[in-house]
Amino acid sequence: MVEIAEVPSPFCGVGTDDLKIQVDGVTLKVLENGCVVNTPAFEQPITDTQPRVNGQAVSLDVAVAKVASLLKNTALPVIGGCATDVNGMRGLLALADRCGAVVDNMNFTRARNNFLALQDSGWMNTTLSEVKNRCDLFLVIGADLEVVVPRFFERYIWNAESMFIEKTDQREVVYLGTAPSGSASTSPAGKAAQVLSCATDDLPEVVAVLRALVNSRLIRAESVAGINVADLQALADKLKAAKYGVVTWAAGALTYRHAELTVQTLSEMIKDINNKNTRCSGLPLAGKEGDLTANQVCGWTTGYPARTRFSRGYPEYDPFMNDTNVLIAEGEADALVWVQAFNSKSVPPVTELPTIVVGRSGMVFAKEPDVFIPVGTPGIDHAGHAYRTDNVVAIRLKKLRDSGLPSTADVLNAIEKALREETVC
């Protein structure tokens, strides 16, 4: 039995790396600094250790050969999920390039809210250490932050020491939209966050008015979506008075059509504030189950984010057409490969297509896939790299135990190799 300290987590999105974990054979126990997201993700026991073809246990070689035979004559296989580490994504993209597949990260429809804004007008953003040391006004838009990232406030807002903020409990926290479900945003001295609450669907209107007020435009209405314009005016004034305001949102929580326009309005508002003789930055929240990792690796390998097809021999990005669910629903896809090394509850959509799952041990399927290959989890069963929410910092994931499970990269590289050999012959 050993204890491993300073363990980084790929599960919470913020790259928490102060966990202490006890390893007893293949059993893990989080001893220190766990949370409701990380602790179960680390402690989940291994159940499946052997690949299955049509529900029958087989060797890895047999499973790989079966996958190659299923993919060999496909016209448009889709590789969904894309939840793995950097090396796993490298293998995934090599396989997609080989078989002319579509690569589609399972969180892309949500992340698209950010990508469309970024690719249309850009943004000014910051990272976690800057928040920890510089942020004096923290504005949360439409997200129940402590549910998404339980330790966010503890680690980055109410941190004991900060280089440029004399007392962190004097920081101001404002919620716009969803109210917080708990008290993590209440300062250690007991000051609760200000909440300007409105329905999520009303955020486009509220955010548009906020930006207008930041730019001193005249608003004739007295309230918008139940929020007094005077309160929004006070918030606009705070943003302009803050030395280093930070505005955060979770693209996935903006659950209405064309939410990219909200992200764009926020990002343009932040740019406006930076032209008013002070600083302000955005902090998009993401980084769960390898979504940023998928987009980063796909970005440098193809030039595009992870909703890209290789069916014409070269990468083509389309944030709408290359959606796994659309391709299956419209009968374009002719095979589904689901890659999910982090979360055994995240299973592929049920389809009549040949289905291959390269997934975390413990998956329960409504319909047994043609092939299931259980793989190790990056940061538990093998070392690796993952990106955290600020999309700048890649964390080095540790190997904690010897489970004998192959990595995503091992499996996908073997499939790619088997396909290459069949194509060359």
Considering only residues 271-290, where is the footprint of another protein by CB under 8 A? 274, 277-279, 281
Q: Please identify which residue in 42, 138, 158, 304 interacts with another protein, judged by CB under 8 A.
A: 304
Q: Please identify which residue in 161, 166, 222, 352 interacts with another protein, judged by CB under 8 A.
A: 161
- Residue 313 binds another protein (CB under 8 A): yes
- Residue 17 binds another protein (CB under 8 A): yes
- Short-list 232, 182, 177, 229, CA closest to 199: 177
- Residue 411 binds another protein (CB under 8 A): no
Q: Please identify which residue in 351, 392, 417, 422 interacts with another protein, judged by CB under 8 A.
A: 392
Residue with tokens 């940023």: 292
Spell out the residues 6+ positions from residue 189 whose beta carbon is closer than 8 angstroms to its own: 169
CB closer to another protein, 124 vs 326: 124
- Short-list 78, 8, 28, CA closest to 311: 78
Restricted to residues 314-353, the positions that interact with another protein (CB under 8 A) are 314-317
| Burial letters 368-381, b for 16+ CB under 10 A, else e | ebbbbbbbbbbbbb
Spell out the residues 6+ positions from residue 386 whose beta carbon is closer than 8 angstroms to its own: 10, 15, 85, 86, 287, 290, 292, 293, 378, 379, 394, 395, 397
Restricted to residues 80-99, the positions that interact with another protein (CB under 8 A) are 86-87, 90, 94, 97-98
Give the number of C-alpha atoms closer than 13 A to the C-alpha of residue 155, restricted to the C-beta side.
19
Q: Please identify which residue in 31, 44, 299, 417 interacts with another protein, judged by CB under 8 A.
A: 299
- 25 C-beta neighbours (distance < 10 Å), count: 9
Q: Please identify which residue in 102, 409, 411, 418 interacts with another protein, judged by CB under 8 A.
A: 409
CB closer to another protein, 161 vs 222: 161
* Euclidean distance between CA atoms 25 and 381, whole angstroms: 12
Cβ neighbourhood burial of 391 (10 Å; 0-12, 13-18, 19+)? middle
CB closer to another protein, 156 vs 175: 156
In the complex, least distance from residue 349 CB atom to another protein, rounded to whole angstroms: 27
Strands 172-177 and 137-141: parallel
Restricted to residues 130-159, the positions that interact with another protein (CB under 8 A) are 130, 132-134, 155-156
Own/partner pairs for 189-194, CB < 8 Å, 24+ apart? 193/140
Q: Please identify which residue in 33, 84, 107, 126 interacts with another protein, judged by CB under 8 A.
A: 126
Token output for 146: 């402590």
CB closer to another protein, 185 vs 281: 281
The footprint of another protein on this chain (CB under 8 A) covers a number of residues equal to 71
Q: Please identify which residue in 31, 212, 225, 394 interacts with another protein, judged by CB under 8 A.
A: 394
In the complex, least distance from residue 141 CB atom to another protein, rounded to whole angstroms: 19
- Residue 249 binds another protein (CB under 8 A): no
Restricted to residues 227-246, the positions that interact with another protein (CB under 8 A) are 243-244
Binding region for another protein (CB under 8 A) out of 113-121, 228-236, 320-328, 333-341: 113-121
- Residue 301 binds another protein (CB under 8 A): yes
In the complex, least distance from residue 380 CB atom to another protein, rounded to whole angstroms: 16
Q: Which one-letter amino acid corresponds to residue 405?
A: L
* Euclidean distance between CA atoms 306 and 9, whole angstroms: 22
* Euclidean distance between CA atoms 335 and 174, whole angstroms: 47
